[in-house]
Structures are given as structure tokens and as C-alpha cells.
Amino acid sequence: MEADDFSIKRFLKYISEGKLKGLKCAGCGNIIAPPRLKCSVCGSSEFKWVDLSGKAHLLTYTIIHVPPKRFTGETPYVVGIVQLEEGPRLEARITGFDVNQHVQILKTGMDLIFEPSPAGILSFKPLI
Amino acid sequence: MKVAVIGVGITKFGKLENKTSRELFAEAVEYAIKDADISPKEVESVYVGNFTADLFEHQGHIGPLMADYAGLKGLPATRFESACASGAAALRHGILSILSGLYDIVLVGGVEKMTDLPTSEVTDALSIAADNLFEASIGATFPGEYAMIAKAHMDAYGTTREQLASVAVKNHHNGFLNPKAHFQKEIDLDKALNAPMIAWPLGLYDCSPISDGAAALILAREDIARKYTDTPVYIIASAQASDTVSLFERESLTSLKAAKIAARKAYEMAGVTAKQINLAEVHDCFTIAEIIATEDLGFFKPGEGGPAVEQGLTQIDGDIAINPSGGLKAKGHPVGCTGVAQAVEVSIQLRGEAGKRQVSGAEIGLTHNIGGSGATAIIHIFRR
């Protein structure tokens, strides 16, 4: 049953379907993403899937010029660490702007929004 | 601690086209056995540090393979993998085996053969040290992880690209003095700053190279060490800690918590303070990593590592010599070998045999070996 499947694979499948979801702990309400077997705050393992707002802010980023083999041809692209409004941090592509202008456009702490990507790669774009 | 280094060996580092990992390992072991002036028959167990011969050479099961080619067939032989800290993991387990009372003399080696693959495939292979589901899968690379640490450190403390480049210039100078180093040429700040970008803000000279190499140590029970050598080097601390493999789940992006924990434990175990360390071989896989290492180890306050290297405080004749060997940056970084190679350099320095790169009057040295972007940290302290 999908509703009882609190797995990492389910989390990644949601992303590939264009949905950003997290686990809400039934014990303390903590939001967990990516999934863990137990809540890091209260230790409960009772969860439900909830839609996340998709709002986040940028903690740090890099421009990849030399990619792993499977991403050859996509450079330069931006990878960043984002903090979701609900608390969890994730690593994601930062998209939707001219990479050559990153110094002018990307600012640490700036607001981002989840952007479903055709390739199913977790992505956020700047809210400008 | 009751363990001493009685012999060391290291191959030339670099792109060694005609040598496989087993040949490199055997060469390092031969040097170490000769250096210790022991018979191979006296070695009781073998510990091999290696990250991923699996991907680099399509070769697994390398514990017994390395032992066999090194003339040590028959002995217990196991490979240790902790990403780029595999070498120190092997060393730590060699130490533990002597401390357990089971063995008197063991061999610890590290080896990596990286240059058979093109750069894109090496990048792919190294990325398995990150979290495959949440980091590598979105296109993050190893330089990319450290680039994000660099960007965070720049935002927090005003660390500059010039300060990062100063690490590369210093380590190339030290490598220039080390005949075993991958690079034996000096560079200047302009050259480092104007190099092609690998993962902004890190350019080519902010990154350690793709190297082949092997290193070996003969360890002995402390009380028998002087039977073999007049210059034993004593291991006075071994400490290890871990953290999340993923960078994004860490408490801090400007410091490696595992390294700070391991450092505190190591100083306690050795009964020394950061101020007493004369030299340190630290894990400068990227220039930012050396700056953060000097802060995590307590040599400089957070944010002061950048200015310190720029002011020359970490040169061979500075307040504390950091990476007199040339470090991973210039000596080279055959990943699973690095932790053992660091211990070889500190041992040579404490014996006073480091030639042109000798840190004068060195009494106490430290090695700092990091796996991944900080998920494994292993620190050893040595005294002559």
C-alpha cells in the first residue's frame, strides 16, 4: 500500500512525479525528508506523508564544470544545499536562471521554490 | 599507546602508466621491510588501505592479492575501505591488532591505482564516497561538495580565493622539495587563480590530482622497537569519528564535526595540546579542506585559517608546518594510500630524515585523514 510505504524509494518516486513530500511524525509533528526509519526528534516510527510547501532558502551552492560521466553535456550546472520551510535540508539542482549570471542572481539565504524537473532530479529555482 | 613505527616505504606518486596496484604495493612494502631491517617472516599480519580498486581496476579481494605480490602470502590480509580515509583506517586497525596483544609486528599498506580511467570515470568512481541517492544522483561531484563548503566558509568568514590559492602555492613549493611528489614544480598565485574552474569557486589548482601510488609502514610493539631501529617513532594517539555521509545533513558547513571530535580524543589520548604539534600532514584534497583542517585541529580559530596560510604561518619554517610533504595537493592523492603516506611523511620528519623539506627540531607530528566530505575522520599523533 502506497499510504504505508514510508520508504526512500517512495520519496524519490514522488519527486520524479513532480511532487515534494515529507514524512510527518505522528509522535511530535516533526517533518522528515528524506525518510528515516525513526523520527530524529522523538524516536517514533509512525508517520504520514504530507505535501511540503516547496518553499526553501539557499544555504550554499557550486557551479559544476567537470561532471560525472552520466551528466556530461549538461555543464555548467548549479548544485546547492537548500533548507526547506518545514526544516529539513536537501541537496538539489538550482535552475531557472542564466548560470553565467550566478554571482549577480544567487545570494546566500535567498528564497527558492521547488521546481518539478522532467528528468526527476530534485530542483529548486530562485524566487526573483 | 604501545606501538612504534620501525620501517617506512613509499613509491613515487604520479601517473605511473606501467604499474598496477599490486606492483606499487609490493614496491612500497619492499622499501619498508628494508628500512626496518627485518625479515618478511617476522611480519604477522597485513592491513591494506584501498578505496576502490573495484571501480578503478575492476579488482576486488585485494587484501590477499597485495600480500601475495608483496611476498607475504599466507598471512592474515584484509582490505580496509573508508573512502579517502581508507589508509588511516588500515593503520588504526594495524595499531589495534598490536594493542590487543595478538601480534608483535604487522604491516600496514595503502595503495590506489587511479590513472587507468579517463577523468569523467574517475569523477564517477570518487562520487560513490558521497551519498549516492541524494548527492551523486543530482550531479554533485566531490569537488562540488568541497566547493559548497568553500562558499559557506567564504560567506561566514570572508575567506578569499587568494587564501585558497595560497594553500596551493605553499604545497606546490613543499612538493618541489619532495622527490616522491606527483608535482615537483612551483606555481604562483596568478597561475592558481587563473586556472580553469572545476566546481566554482574551486579551480584546477584548488584540487588534488588523480594519482597512482603506494605506501607502507612496519609497526612493532613499543618494547621491542629498539631491537630493530635506533629511531623508532611512537604512535601516541589514534582516534576516529564519523558523521553523516551526506553534506546537507551536517550541523555545520564550515567545519567537519567528525574531525573536531577525533582531534579532541587524539589530544586527550596523547596528553598533548594543539600548540605542541610541530607539523601536521592534513587532508588537503581541496585547498579549502586544508584551511578548515587547521581550524578543526585547533591550530587556528574558526575563520583564521585563511589569513594564516596567506601570512605564511603554515610554511615549513612557520609557526606550524602544514603538509611539508606537499600534501595531497602536490605530493598527490592516491586515495586509499593517502592515510598511510601521511604517516610515512610524519615518521620521516620525526626521524630528521626529510632533507630539504625537514621541519627543524620536530618532536611531535599529527596526521589528519578524511573520508568523503567529512563522514570519516581519523587522526594519529606521533612522537619521536
Paired with A77 in beta bridges are A64
Q: B121 — contact with chain A (CB < 8 Å)? A: yes
pTM above threshold 0.95:
yes
Q: What is the pLDDT of residues A33-87, one digit of tens each?
A: 999 999 999 999 999 999 999 999 999 999 999 998 899 999 999 999 999 999 9
Same domain, B20 and B86: yes
Q: What is the CATH number of the domain that holds B228?
A: 3.40.47.10
Strands (E), chain B: 3-10, 46-49, 77-80, 105-112, 197-200, 202-203, 213-221, 233-242, 279-281, 321-322, 364-371, 376-383
Same domain, B312 and B355: yes
A55-126 classified as CATH 2.40.50.840: yes
Contact B148 A66 (CB under 8 A): no
Cell of B202: 574551486
Q: Is the dihedral of CA B186, B336, B198, B157 positive or negative?
A: negative
Contact B144 A79 (CB under 8 A): yes
For chain B, what is the domain count? 2
Same domain, B337 and B241: yes
Same domain, B277 and B145: yes
Same domain, B28 and B103: yes
Same domain, B101 and B136: no
Domain extent, residue B222, equals 3-117+211-233
Residue B116 CB neighbours (<10 A):
15
Same domain, B327 and B370: yes
Please return the burial class of B194, using the count of CB atoms within 10 Å of its CB with bins 0-12, 13-18 and 19+: exposed
Q: What is the pLDDT of residues B60-115, one digit of tens each?
A: 999 999 999 999 999 999 999 999 999 999 999 999 999 999 999 999 999 999 99
Considering only the beta carbons, identify the residue of A65, A66, A121 that sits closest to B138. Answer: A121
Same domain, B149 and B257: yes
ipTM above 0.90, yes or no: yes
Q: What is the pLDDT of residue A76?
A: 97
Domain span(s) for CATH 2.40.50.840 in chain A: 55-126
Same domain, B166 and B309: yes
Name B241's Cβ contacts closer than 8 Å, sequence gap at least 6. B257, B258, B259, B261, B262, B265, B376, B377
Same domain, B108 and B254: no
| Residues of chain B contacting residue A79, judged by C-beta atoms under 8 Å apart | 138-140, 144, 148
Is B207 a residue of the active site?
no
Same domain, B251 and B304: yes
The DSSP 8-state label assigned to residue B135 in this structure reads: T
| Residues of chain B contacting residue A72, judged by C-beta atoms under 8 Å apart | 120
Average pLDDT per block of 10 residues along chain B, 384 residues long: 94 97 98 97 98 97 98 98 98 98 98 94 91 94 96 98 98 98 97 97 98 98 96 98 97 98 98 98 98 98 98 98 98 98 98 98 98 98 97
Q: Tell me which of B153, B172, B283, B333 is the catalytic residue.
A: B333
Same domain, B357 and B257: yes
